[in-house]
Structure 1
Amino acid sequence: MTAPTPDKPQASLAFVLLLSVLVVATCGLIYELLAGTLASYLLGDSVTQFSTVIGAYLFAMGVGSWLSRYVKGDELSIFVRVEVLIALLGGWSAAALFLLFPLVSDFRLALYGLVLAIGAMVGLEIPLLIRILQHRFAFRELVSNVLTFDYVGALVASVLFPLLLVPQLGLIRTGFVFGLANISVAIALLLILPRSRRNAADLAAALLVTASLIAGLFLAERLQRWSEVAFYQEPVIYARSTPYQRMVLTRRSGDIRLYLNGNLQFSSRDEYRYHEALVWPVLGRVANPAQVLVLGGGDGLAAREILRDRRVQRVTLVDLDPEMTRLFRDTPQLAALNGHALASPRVSVHNADAFRWVKEARGQYDAVIVDFPDPTEFSLGKLYTEHFYREVARLLAPGGVMTVQSTSPLIAPRSFWTVATTLEAAGLSARGYHAYVPSFGEWGFTMAAHGAIPPLAALPPGLRFLTPQSEPLLYQFPPDMARRPTPVNRLDNQALVRSFAEEWGPYEG
C-alpha cells in the first residue's frame, strides 16, 4: 500500500517537517556540545564533564521520548511549542551558564538541570515528527527519511562545532545562532499552516523568543565580559575562545593576569619569581646551554629568562595555540612584558601538539624547560606521563638538565611527587624544588637529568629573586611537603589527573 499523494500545501509542510529533522538534530547536538565544553572550561577535567553531560543529556532524551506517548491530538501544535521552548533554553544556555557560574553556590545543579530540561524536550521532537509525518509517507520511507536527516544533522554539528563555531563565534554566540535556527523551524511551520489552524499565542511567543535571541546575539560579547568580570573580580582587557582554550587577560592597578580556562597562569607583579625558579636552576647547571627547548610557555616569559644567557644560541619553543604566541608577540604591552622574546631571531616558535612534536623531533638539546598548564584533564595529563618523559629524555643531551613545572607541593603533595616518580620511571634522576610565588603560594618544580644532576655552577647577576645563597634553599622541604610514595603516571592510568582533582578539588569548589 502506498502513501496518498499529498496536495501542494501538504507537500510544502512535509518538506519543512523533513528539513526540520535536520535542523533539530543539528541544534540538539550543538546544545549538548555547548554544555560539555562550557563545563570543561569552568570545572576542568574534560573527560568527566563530557561523559556526565552526554550521559545526562541522552538519559533526558530517553525520558522525553517516553513522555511523547502522553501527547494526544494536535501533535503539530505541541511540536511548535516544544521548538519555541528549546530555542529559548538552548539559545540562552551558554550565556545563562556563564552568568550563573560566579553567582550560584552549586553550579552543577544549574548545569545539569538545564541539560536535563533541554534533553527531555529534544527527546520529544523525533517521536512527534514521526507521528506528524506518518500519514504523508509509507512507513519504510518515513523511518528512512527521518533517521537519515537526523544522522546527517549530527554529523553537521560535530564538524562545525570545533572547526568553525567555537573559534569564530565563541560559545555564547553559537548558542544564540542555533536558538534562532530552532525558532525558525517553529515560525516556518506556523506560517505554512492554514490561517484557521494558526495559534496567535504560539506565533507571538515565537516572535518574542526570536527578539530575545537576536538581542542576545548582538550583546554576546558584553554578556561574556559581564560574566568574566563577575568571575575574576578584575577588569577584563582581552578575552577570546580559541579551538584549544578560553584566554582571558585582566588588569588592575598595573597588574596584568593571564587566565586559561579560568585558571591563573601568571601575574605580572610576581611572575619573575616563577620564571627565574623555572629557568635558572637549569641553565646554571649546564656547561654550555647552546640549544634550549621550551615545551609550553607560549607567553614567552620563560624564553625571556633564557635569552638573558648569552651562551644560548637557539631557543625552540613548542606551544599548541597560535593565538597565544601571536598575542604575546604582537601586542606591545605583552611583548614588553616578555622582553620581545618571541620576536627574537634566536627563538623559533612551533605551534604544535607537544606530545606529537616531541615524538617526531630529532636532535638534542642542552636544556629543556617544560612549562605546561596543570594536569586538570587527561589531554594535559598525557604531557606528564612516563611515555612523554621518555621521548623528552631522548632529546636531552648528555650533561643536559630539564625541569618540569609540577603544581603546588603544599596543596597537592601527591601530585607534585608523582612527577618525580614518573621522571624516574622514564630513566632519569629527579629532584624536586619549590619557590614561593605570592599569586600561587608555594609552587613546585622537578629537575631531571641523565645520571646525577650536576651542581649549580653560577647564576647571572641582576636576578630579582634567585641568588647563589637562596638557590640551595629551594630544595629543602618541610614535613608537610616532604616526599611520599606515589604511583607512576602512565597513559593508561592517568594517576596524576585523578590525584590533582582530589587534592585541588576542595580549594576550587
Structure 2
Amino acid sequence: MGKKFFSFEILLLLAVFTIATCGLVYELVAGTLASYLLGDSVKQFSFIIGVYLFSMGIGSYFSKFIKRNLLNTFVEIELLVGLIGGLSSAVLFVLFESVDYFQFVLYLLVFTTGCLVGLEIPLLMNILKDRVRFRDLVSNVFTFDYIGALLASILFPLVLVPQLGIIRTSLFFGLINISIALVLCFALKNELRRVTFLKTRAILCFAILVAVFIFSDDILSYSEGKLYGENIIYTHSTPYQRIVLTHNKSDYRLYLNNNLQFSSADEYRYHEALVHPVMAAAKRVENVLVMGGGDGLAVREILKYPEVKTITLVDLDEGMTNLFKTNTILTGFNKNALNNPKVTVINSDAYVWAKQQRKQYDVVVIDFPDPSNYSLGKLYSLSFYRALQHILSPDALVVIQTTSPYFAPKSFWCINQTLAQVLPKTDAYHVYVPSFGEWGYTIAANNITADFNKPLRHAAENLRFYDYNFKSLNGFTKDMRASQVEVNRLDNQILVRYFDEEWGKL
C-alpha cells in the first residue's frame, strides 16, 4: 500500500512540475505575442504578468468550492489548460487583423488560463492531504512548482522560440498538458470515475492540437499575409525578433516584430543621410564603428570610402546578421557588405560591449531601432553615451538615427540633448523618406572645432540622394521643434515615455 501511495504522490508531483512549466510558457507566449503585435514589450509583459497572477489568485480562491470528485476535476482542468493554452497563440494570430477587440480576447485567454492553473495547485494539495504529511506536501508541491517555472523561463528564449516559433511552442506545451491528463487516466483508472469518457476527451483534445500543430505554418502564413497585406517571401524567428521579408512589385520590405525596418524603394535616402554627412565631415575614417544596422546597409555606404581600413559592426542578433550575409536577395541590397574583408561582425549587446571595449574609433554610426521599450531606451541614455565616449578618438564624429522630428519631436530632441551632455558639439538634421515620412538624425563631435558643414571628402561612387550640402538638411520648422525636454537617464527612461506618448497618438 505504501508503494502505491508513493507512486500516486510522485505522479501528481510530476503533474505539478508540468503545470508550472506549461503555465509559465503560456504566459510568456502571450507576452511575446502581445509585444510582437502591439509593440511596447515592457508594458505588454507587465500587463500580461499582472493579469495572469491575478487570475491565478481568483482560481485558487474558487478551488475551495470544489469538494467532490477532486481527481476527476483535476484531470478535466488539465485538459482545458492544455486545449486553451495550446491553441491561444494560433487563435490570437488569426484574430489580430480580423477583430476590433483583439486586446479583450488576449486578456480573456490569459485570464482564463491563469484561473485554470490557479485551480490546479490547491486541488492537488487537497487530493494529497490525506496521503502525505502536510509539511512534506507543501514543500514538495512548491519545490516542483518553482523548478518547473525556472525550466520554462530558461528554455523559452534559448530553445523554444528559436526552434519552434511562438505558435508551435504553445501547441507543444498544450500537448504536454494533455499527455499528463492521459497518463493520469491510465495510471489512476481505479481512482477515477467515468474514466473511459475522460480518456476519449483527452484523445480528442490531443488530436485537435496535433492537427493544428501540423498546419501551424499555414496558420502563421495566413495571419501574417493579412497583417502585412503583401506577398511574404521569407520569415524567420530569432531569440530576439520575428523577421519578415515581403515583396510587392519592385519593392521589398523588411519587418522586425511587425515594424517596418526598410523599403528597398527608398532605403537609400535613409542610409545615405545617416552615413555620408558624418563620413564627409570626419578628419579620419580609418576605423569605423557601426552599432545596430545588422542589415549591412549602413556598412554598404561606409565602404564607398577607400580610406576606410576597418569596420566593426556590433549587433545583438546573430540571426539577423547571418541572414544579411547569406540570403541572396538581401546581400543584393547591401552589396554583400557584411562579407567584405574589412568588416568584423560582433553579435553582442552594444551597451555591455561599449563598456568593455578599449579600441578607439574615428567615426561611430548608431542605427538602433526606435526607443519603444526600456531595453532599447538604455541605448539612448546618458549612461550609454558616456560609455561610448571613451572609445572615441580625439577628433571622432558620431551620428545617431533619432526617430521622426515631425511625429515625435520630444523624442527627437530628447536624444539630441542627452548626447549634448556628453559630447562638446552636436547638431541635428532630417530627411524625407517616403516609407517613414520626415526622419531625423543627431550628429556630434568629440572636438568642438569640428565643422559639419565643411565636407573633407566625397564618396568614390555616385550617390542617389545626398549632395554633401549639410545645411540643406539642417533646418527645422516650428512643428518639428520641442522645448523643455528632459535628458534620458538610465534610471528614469523619460525617452521611452515620450516615444510612447507621441507615437501612440498616431
Q: TM-score range by the shorter chain?
A: over 0.9
Q: Does 1:156 align with 2:151?
A: yes
Provide the aligned C-alpha RMSD in A. 1.6
Assess if the C-alpha contact under 8 Å between 2:276 and 2:468 holds in 1: no
1:297 to 284, 293, 308: 293
Distance 1:195 1:424, change over 3 A: closer
Give me the whole-angstrom Cα distance separating, in 1, the residues matched to 2:475 and 2:458. Answer: 19
Q: Does 1:103 align with 2:98?
A: yes
**1:258 matched to which residue of 2?**
254
Q: CA deviation at 1:227?
A: 1.5
Give me the whole-angstrom Cα distance separating, in 1, the residues matched to 2:354 and 2:481. Answer: 31
Assess if the C-alpha contact under 8 Å between 2:234 and 2:246 holds in 1: yes
Give me the whole-angstrom Cα distance separating, in 2, the residues matched to 1:483 and 1:32. Answer: 39
**2:113 matched to which residue of 1?**
118
Q: 1:135-284 to 2 correspondence within 5 Å?
A: 135-192=130-187, 193-194=189-190, 197-284=193-280
Assess if the C-alpha contact under 8 Å between 2:230 and 2:247 holds in 1: yes
Q: CA deviation at 1:6?
A: 4.2
Give me the whole-angstrom Cα distance separating, in 2, the residues matched to 1:268 and 1:201. Answer: 58
Give me the whole-angstrom Cα distance separating, in 1, the residues matched to 2:505 and 2:215. Answer: 35
Give me the whole-angstrom Cα distance separating, in 1, the residues matched to 2:387 and 2:449. Answer: 19
**1:467 matched to which residue of 2?**
467
Q: CA deviation at 1:38?
A: 1.6
Assess if the C-alpha contact under 8 Å between 1:402 and 1:448 holds in 2: yes
Q: CA deviation at 1:201?
A: 3.3
Q: Does 1:315 align with 2:311?
A: yes
**1:419 matched to which residue of 2?**
415
Question: What secondary structure sits across from 2:365 in the alignment?
Answer: strand
C-alpha deviations, 1:105-157, integer Å up to 9, x for none? 23221111111010000000011111111222222222222122112111211
Give me the whole-angstrom Cα distance separating, in 1, the residues matched to 2:485 and 2:379. Answer: 18
Assess if the C-alpha contact under 8 Å between 2:71 and 2:192 holds in 1: no
Give me the whole-angstrom Cα distance separating, in 2, the residues matched to 1:462 and 1:484. Answer: 38
C-alpha deviations, 1:7-48, integer Å up to 9, x for none? 64x554333212111111111111111111222222222222
**1:443 matched to which residue of 2?**
439
C-alpha deviations, 1:254-307, integer Å up to 9, x for none? 311111111111001100000000000111111331111100111000000000
Give me the whole-angstrom Cα distance separating, in 1, the residues matched to 2:450 and 2:498. Answer: 27
**2:400 matched to which residue of 1?**
404
Give me the whole-angstrom Cα distance separating, in 1, the residues matched to 2:269 and 2:232. Answer: 24
Give me the whole-angstrom Cα distance separating, in 1, the residues matched to 2:320 and 2:500. Answer: 26
Give me the whole-angstrom Cα distance separating, in 2, the residues matched to 1:12 and 1:220. Answer: 37
**2:327 matched to which residue of 1?**
331
**1:35 matched to which residue of 2?**
30
C-alpha deviations, 1:429-453, integer Å up to 9, x for none? 2111100000101101111112144
Question: What secondary structure sits across from 1:506 in the alignment?
Answer: coil
| TM-score computed with the length of structure 1 as normaliser | 0.95
Give me the whole-angstrom Cα distance separating, in 2, the residues matched to 1:354 and 1:45. Answer: 20
Q: Which runs of 5+ in 1 are unaligned?
A: none
Distance 1:383 1:445, change over 3 A: same
Question: What secondary structure sits across from 2:268 in the alignment?
Answer: helix
Assess if the C-alpha contact under 8 Å between 1:40 and 1:46 holds in 2: yes
Distance 1:369 1:7, change over 3 A: closer
Give me the whole-angstrom Cα distance separating, in 1, the residues matched to 2:327 and 2:423. Answer: 41
Question: What secondary structure sits across from 1:197 in the alignment?
Answer: coil
Assess if the C-alpha contact under 8 Å between 1:387 and 1:426 holds in 2: no
Give me the whole-angstrom Cα distance separating, in 1, the residues matched to 2:6 and 2:193. Answer: 17
Question: What secondary structure sits across from 1:284 in the alignment?
Answer: helix
Give me the whole-angstrom Cα distance separating, in 1, the residues matched to 2:101 and 2:442. Answer: 36
Give me the whole-angstrom Cα distance separating, in 2, the residues matched to 1:148 and 1:196. Answer: 26
C-alpha deviations, 1:386-441, integer Å up to 9, x for none? 11112222222222211100001110000000011101112332111100000101
**1:504 matched to which residue of 2?**
503
Give me the whole-angstrom Cα distance separating, in 2, the residues matched to 1:485 and 1:84. Answer: 56
Assess if the C-alpha contact under 8 Å between 2:430 and 2:473 holds in 1: yes
**2:126 matched to which residue of 1?**
131
C-alpha deviations, 1:225-248, integer Å up to 9, x for none? 222111111122221221111111
Question: What secondary structure sits across from 1:225 in the alignment?
Answer: helix
**2:77 matched to which residue of 1?**
82
Question: What secondary structure sits across from 2:390 in the alignment?
Answer: helix
Distance 1:126 1:477, change over 3 A: same
The one-letter amino acid of 2:387's match is: E
Distance 1:132 1:409, change over 3 A: same
**1:456 matched to which residue of 2?**
454
Give me the whole-angstrom Cα distance separating, in 2, the residues matched to 1:459 and 1:96. Answer: 54
Percent sequence identity over aligned pairs? 52
Aligned length: 501
Q: Does 1:482 align with 2:476?
A: no
Assess if the C-alpha contact under 8 Å between 1:409 and 1:481 holds in 2: yes
Moved more, 331-340 or 94-103: 94-103
Give me the whole-angstrom Cα distance separating, in 2, the residues matched to 1:87 and 1:483. Answer: 51
**1:389 matched to which residue of 2?**
385
Q: CA deviation at 1:331?
A: 1.2
Question: What secondary structure sits across from 2:504 in the alignment?
Answer: helix
The one-letter amino acid of 2:41's match is: S
C-alpha deviations, 1:352-378, integer Å up to 9, x for none? 111011111112211110000000111
Distance 1:427 1:468, change over 3 A: closer
Q: Which runs of 5+ in 2 are unaligned?
A: none
The one-letter amino acid of 1:157's match is: A
Q: CA deviation at 1:195?
A: 9.1
Give me the whole-angstrom Cα distance separating, in 1, the residues matched to 2:133 and 2:335. Answer: 71
Assess if the C-alpha contact under 8 Å between 2:280 and 2:468 holds in 1: no
Assess if the C-alpha contact under 8 Å between 1:130 and 1:142 holds in 2: yes
**2:361 matched to which residue of 1?**
365
